[in-house]
Amino acid sequence: MDKVYQSTKKVRETLAGGAAAAFAIAAALMLGVSATNSVAQQSAMSTNATSSTPVDGYNAPQGHLAAIRHIFDDPSLRVHHYCKPNDKIVAVCQLYDTNSANATLIGIEYVITQDQYNSLPDREKPYWHAHRVEFAPDRADVQMPDLTPEQAKAVMSQLAPTWGKVVITWNPNDELPSFPPQVELVDHPFMLNATITSSNSTQ
């Protein structure tokens, strides 16, 4: 367990410490801070991400992440992730159906390290997806609109070794949250075989 804790602590410190490791995920991330921020500014970001109320910091340390193939009933829907570092795992992300002011909270994603994934019971592992695979160009089509291409590439590099578990609590195709929460198998063959292009993905 010490190995898992130290690995988690290292990833959290890396994510919170600099723009190259800034979390969007996870995935994911989110104050729109430039890569040239001072150490003092980065420290302030980290403090803000762990502020006194649980809802604060879900836009830290910079930017947010949007990805497709997260909703089984609608793989083309681009799900917007607003994440913050967590004391026990790498990060916890709130998932929304859009990035507008009245967007609906539709689920959460937990992000863990490779060591933490290895420590999971075998029965639990199928519910997690590897970000190093999901980040392939023909998979999640990850977008980080608050970052430059260089910053986004650096963030994805930091997140690549991690694993995610997506739990949808409100199917965005339903008018009410009338279905039990569902773990979305992001790498299920149905998701992978869905034909999605930039033109038919919904924002």
Query: pLDDT tens, 134-187?
Result: 887 777 677 888 888 898 888 888 989 999 999 999 988 889 998 899 898 876
C-alpha atoms less than 13 angstroms from C-alpha of 37 in its C-beta half-sphere: 23
**Which class for 55: exposed (0-12), middle (13-18), buried (19 or more C-beta within 10 A)?**
exposed
Q: Could you say which DSSP state residue 132 is in?
A: H
Q: What is the DSSP string of 74-131?
A: -TTB-EEEEEEE-SSSSEEEEEES-SSTT--EEEEEEEE-HHHHHHS-TTTGGG-EEH
Confidence class of residue 7 from pLDDT cuts 50, 70 and 90?
low
Confidence class of residue 2 from pLDDT cuts 50, 70 and 90?
low
Cβ neighbors of 186 (< 8 A, separation 6 or more) are 69, 70, 129, 134, 140, 164, 166
Mean pLDDT of the chain: 70
Q: Residue 30: its pLDDT value, please? A: 35
Q: Which residue has the higher pLDDT, 87 or 69?
A: 87
Region of residue 5 (left: phi > 0; alpha: psi -120 to 50; beta: else): alpha
Q: Using one digit for the tens of pLDDT, what is the confidence trace for 16-50? A: 433 333 344 333 333 333 333 333 334 444 444 45
C-alpha angle 127/129/135, rounded to 5°? 160
Specify the DSSP element, H or E, that contains 168: strand 163-168
Q: Which residue has the higher pLDDT, 55 or 44?
A: 55
| Separation of alpha carbons 129 and 161, rounded Å | 11
Q: Does 190 have pLDDT greater than 80?
A: no
Q: Which residue has the higher pLDDT, 115 or 52?
A: 115
Q: Residue 45: its pLDDT value, please? A: 45
Q: Using one digit for the tens of pLDDT, what is the confidence trace for 70-103? A: 554 666 778 888 888 999 999 999 999 888 888 8
Q: Does 117 have pLDDT greater than 70?
A: yes
| Separation of alpha carbons 30 and 6, rounded Å | 24
**pTM exceeds cut of 0.85:** no
